[in-house]
Structure 1
Amino acid sequence: MTSATPDNLVEIRQLSFGYGERLILDGISLSIPRGKVTALMGASGGGKTTVLRLIGGQITAQKGELLLDGKNVAQFDQAGWYAARRRMGMLFQFGALFTDMTVFDNVAFPLREHTDLSESLVRDIVLMKLGAVGLRGARDLMPSEVSGGMARRVALARAMALDPDLVMYDEPFAGLDPISLGTAARLIRDLNDTMGLTSIVVSHDLDETFRIADQVVVLANGKIIAQGTPDEVRNSTDPLVHQFIHALPDGPVRFHYPGPTVEQDFGAGLTPVPSRGAKR
């Protein structure tokens, strides 16, 4: 067994995962370098969010290895996972704020839950995190009183509350207007660099994601079909990557989900429906 590479915070080796007979990830190997922004892209159902769940310990791989900071997660007990998750921040799709808490209390929640800091220190940290995303003045608002873009920034401040080493973003640009989308993308890049973070971004937005990513990984059919810099992936000659990058309706990814033929479903002996105006 080869040892972990110090330059990588996360290493995935020949990992497979599926639900029953449905294989989602089929022997993938992937490295997430420290201090960089890695984008996971690909068609819906390709296993991008599954990778995030594996890293966070929500699900367990059936085969292969997953190393966090050089440690095999298969050896983690409950205390080990709690310690690992304290080093992670997660920005859920659409923010997932607590609707009955103010903006301030949403960001304070992980600090109150996982530390013994005084309320005065919690206040200072929360205001600093909100200031970093431009929302210190919105501290007393409820989630229902902020826009979708603002809610996403509040969720980002919450994800940063414990000063994590790794931040994972699940579709951070979904449903945002162009201004909010650009703001969110800039924040991800700026916070990654200024705080020395390692970031994993799951996204379908090609332009913004390629603009902020250091490494792009494209998943499809349970495999990694492309990996490299944004320019390397953009110039890939692989037919599936080409279809995805250029949003082509026809290619290796088909419109119809695999299944029985029409004859098998409806019977080969069906009587055709006569067209309008035909004699009966």
Structure 2
Amino acid sequence: MSALPAPAENDLLVELRDVTFGYGERTVLDRLSLSVPRGKVTALMGASGGGKTTVLRLIGGQYRAQRGQVLVGGQDVGAMSEAQLYAMRRRMGMLFQFGALFTDLSVFENVAFPLREHTALPEALIRDIVLMKLDAVGLRGARDLMPAQISGGMARRVALARAIALDPELVMYDEPFAGLDPISLGTAARLIRRLNDALGITSVVVSHDVQETFHIADQVIILADGGVAAHGTPDEVRASTDPLVRQFIGMDVDGPVQFHYPGPTAEQDFGVQA
């Protein structure tokens, strides 16, 4: 598969350059390089355990690369001080798996939280901003409800309103479609695309849902074996002949990704003679 034309450096919001990272003796990312263009929706996909969420954590500065550079807006995240990290994170929004709303705060208070935490805006202005963000996700009327009173799909939309409360440059989504019914899933996918375009933000979506993610993404990156197995437009990735990419897109049981995690043989564990 041919590579995408390399965008100009100032057109990139995020770059990973030759990044290596692992947990203990297990290497998850091995000299990984990828880029996220400004104003686009980039899908980060691949089998479970392939390092997708790790990439998000490296971008947000929760982890620091053991080798290589993670650049956000041209700045090296690994070289930032704590104060610089906090300043950078104010330009980011994060939608966690299953929303991660504060269960003891109302819908309104959940969305207002980052505004009160990171700004000195007057309450009247915070109220207007919160209602505008809730309106953008179709939930202005649910402002007084508690998280336990709304559905999983609605909770995900509240979490999205909270993620965009500070008008971030970058929004990262960690499995935004997990556990949603087909209607809520489709609503969430369209909302990600619409908000990305309307607000001029950059989106990175980690997802296993091939159909909906390919439908909204400008660029798809599939991670495997610590690196990039495929990248390009959704149509280019669909046309890949790589066996691992074909297995992932086709949801096949048999292929390079095995069911059993590597370990001792059954004979070794159970003492069975071959």
TM-score w.r.t. length of structure 1: 0.94
**CA distance in structure 2 between the partners assigned to 1:141 and 1:255 by the alignment:** 42
Q: 2:182: which partner in 1? A: 178
Residue deviations 1:224-274, cap 9 Å, x none?
10000000001100000000000111010111111111221122449xxxx
Q: Which ranges in structure 1 are unaligned for 5 or more consecutive residues?
A: 271-280
Aligned-pair distance for 1:16? Answer: 0.5
1:135 aligns with 2:139: yes
Secondary structure of the residue aligned to 1:64 is strand
Q: 1:66: which partner in 2? A: 70
**CA distance in structure 2 between the partners assigned to 1:181 and 1:247 by the alignment:** 19
Q: 1:147: which partner in 2? A: 151
1:158 aligns with 2:172: no
Residue deviations 1:41-84, cap 9 Å, x none?
00100000000000011111100011110111122101100110
Counterpart amino acid of residue 196 in structure 1: G
**CA distance in structure 2 between the partners assigned to 1:209 and 1:93 by the alignment:** 15
Secondary structure of the residue aligned to 2:10 is coil
1:257 aligns with 2:224: no
**CA distance in structure 2 between the partners assigned to 1:74 and 1:259 by the alignment:** 34
Residue deviations 1:63-117, cap 9 Å, x none?
0011110111122101100110000000000000000000000000000000000
**CA distance in structure 2 between the partners assigned to 1:154 and 1:240 by the alignment:** 36
**CA distance in structure 2 between the partners assigned to 1:178 and 1:74 by the alignment:** 39
**CA distance in structure 1 between the partners assigned to 2:24 and 2:48 by the alignment:** 19
Q: 1:228 aligns with which of 219, 229, 232?
A: 232
**CA distance in structure 2 between the partners assigned to 1:266 and 1:116 by the alignment:** 63
Q: 1:112: which partner in 2? A: 116
**CA distance in structure 2 between the partners assigned to 1:140 and 1:227 by the alignment:** 43
Secondary structure of the residue aligned to 1:6 is helix
Instruction: Give every structure 1 segment of 4 or more consecutive aligned residues whose post-TM-superposition deviation is greater than 3 Å.
Output: none
1:95 aligns with 2:99: yes
Give aligned-pair identity as a percent.
75
Equivalences, count: 267
Residue deviations 1:136-182, cap 9 Å, x none?
00000000000000000000000000000000000000111111111
**CA distance in structure 1 between the partners assigned to 2:96 and 2:251 by the alignment:** 25
Counterpart amino acid of residue 72 in structure 2: L
Q: Which ranges in structure 2 are unaligned for 5 or more consecutive residues?
A: 1-7
Counterpart amino acid of residue 159 in structure 2: A
Q: 1:208 aligns with which of 212, 224, 227?
A: 212
- Which stretch has the larger CA shift, 209-218 or 67-76? 67-76
**CA distance in structure 1 between the partners assigned to 2:225 and 2:187 by the alignment:** 32
**CA distance in structure 1 between the partners assigned to 2:114 and 2:188 by the alignment:** 21
Asked if 1 retains the 8 angstrom alpha-carbon contact of 2:61 and 2:78, the reply is no
Counterpart amino acid of residue 224 in structure 1: V
TM-score w.r.t. length of structure 2: 0.96
**CA distance in structure 1 between the partners assigned to 2:51 and 2:78 by the alignment:** 20
**CA distance in structure 1 between the partners assigned to 2:22 and 2:102 by the alignment:** 31
Which entry has the higher C-alpha Rg, 1 or 2? 1
Structure 1 vs Structure 2 CA RMSD: 1.0
Asked if 1 retains the 8 angstrom alpha-carbon contact of 2:115 and 2:165, the reply is yes
Q: 1:30: which partner in 2? A: 34
Asked if 1 retains the 8 angstrom alpha-carbon contact of 2:147 and 2:155, the reply is yes
**CA distance in structure 1 between the partners assigned to 2:86 and 2:39 by the alignment:** 22
**CA distance in structure 1 between the partners assigned to 2:266 and 2:110 by the alignment:** 51
